[in-house]
Amino acid sequence: MMNKKFRVNDLVKYNYSEIGEYIDENHTDKPLRNDEVCDLLNKQQTTITELKEENEQLKLKIDGLAYALTYIKRIDVEIDLNE
């Protein structure tokens, strides 16, 4: 289950956020309730976490490929020297 970083108190859960009044660009066409804003933030946080994990895995793969390439180049140089 997703660990929710953003949450709202039940007393104001269904109140509409005033965020649209402060943002001139990229605002939503409909006002969002506080709980909807928290849900969006939590989904974005989950996506960010997943992408960070994927990025780390890709970095490890790149490091492995760079090491393999260095090893292949070293073998290639040794073969050239033996000829």
- Full domain range(s) for residue 15: 10-82
pLDDT in tens, 5-26: 777 777 777 777 665 555 555 6
29 part of a folded domain: yes
4 part of a folded domain: no
Q: State residue 70's pLDDT score.
A: 87
Annotate 23-67 with DSSP letters as a single string.
Answer: --SS--SS--BHHHHHHHHHHHHHHHHHHHHHHHHHHHHHHHHHH
2 part of a folded domain: no
Contact between 13 and 34 (Cβ < 8 Å)? yes
Domain count, the chain: 1
pLDDT in tens, 25-72: 566 666 778 888 888 899 999 999 999 999 999 999 999 999 988 888
Q: Please tell me which residue, 78 or 23, carries the higher pLDDT value.
A: 78
The distance in angstroms from the start CA to the end CA of the chain is 61
